[in-house]
Amino acid sequence: MKVLVIDDDPQARVLLRRSLEILGGLAVIEADSGREGARLAVSERPDCVLLDANMPDWDGPETLHAIRATDEGAAMSVIFVTGASSEDEVARLEALGVTGVLKKPFEPRSFVAAVLALTSGSRSAQHGESKEHEAL
């Protein structure tokens, strides 16, 4: 399974990449901005996108909108990763039609398990319900 990580924080990206590769056995590609991420979502057609909700320039929801506007990304599995501390913000992200919402900070093993569980569900149900996981 190929995962696209979109996050402007290099410290977050490297931890996500290495944990997904080693603990999850996944292939990982990275983008450091929403614009670049939306471009890679079309050209690389990943099985899943891990999308940071809070980025400069295009934030998570704007990037999601750009991905969804393409033929390749219309039904793509997208999981928001957010440092939001309020449940209202998490609920707002869930309502945007994503596979799930995972929180930062996260414990790597739990985070990878949550990604695998969410993507497994979305692959079997095509358009599974959005779920929030506490990846702690």
Partner 1 sequence: MEREWEKIYADLRRRFAASAVDQVATAAALVRSLEIGDGGPRLGDLRTVLHKLAGSAGSYGYDEISRLSLDGELVCKSMIESGRTVDADVLERLRTVLAALESEVATPALPERAR
**In this complex, which beta carbon is closest to partner 1, that of residue 104 or of residue 133?**
104
Residue 60 CB, nearest distance to partner 1 (Å)?
13
| Closer by beta carbon to partner 1, 13 or else 122 | 13
83 vs 73: CA distance, rounded Å: 24
Q: Residue 96 or residue 110: which is nearer to partner 1 going by CB?
A: 110
Reduced to 3 states (helix: H, G, I; strand: E, B; else coil), residue 76 is coil
- Which residue's CB is nearer to partner 1, number 25 or number 97? 25
Residues paired with 6 in a beta bridge: 31, 51
Nearest distance from C-beta of residue 71 to partner 1, angstroms = 33
Determine if residue 57 is left, alpha or beta; phi over 0 gives left, psi from -120 to 50 gives alpha, anything else beta. Answer: left
CB of 5 to partner 1, least distance (A): 13
Edge to edge, what strands does the sheet with 131-133 contain? 27-31, 2-6, 48-52, 77-82, 100-103, 131-133
**CB nearer to partner 1: pick between 13 and 77:** 13
Q: Could you list the residues that contact partner 1 (CB under 8 A)?
A: 9, 11-12, 14-15, 18-19, 22-23, 54, 56, 83, 85, 104-108, 111
- As measured in angstroms, the least distance from the Cβ of 33 to partner 1 is 14
Q: How far is CA 126 from CA 47, 77, 97, 123, in A?
A: 12, 9, 13, 5
Smallest separation (angstroms) from partner 1 to the CB of 36:
18
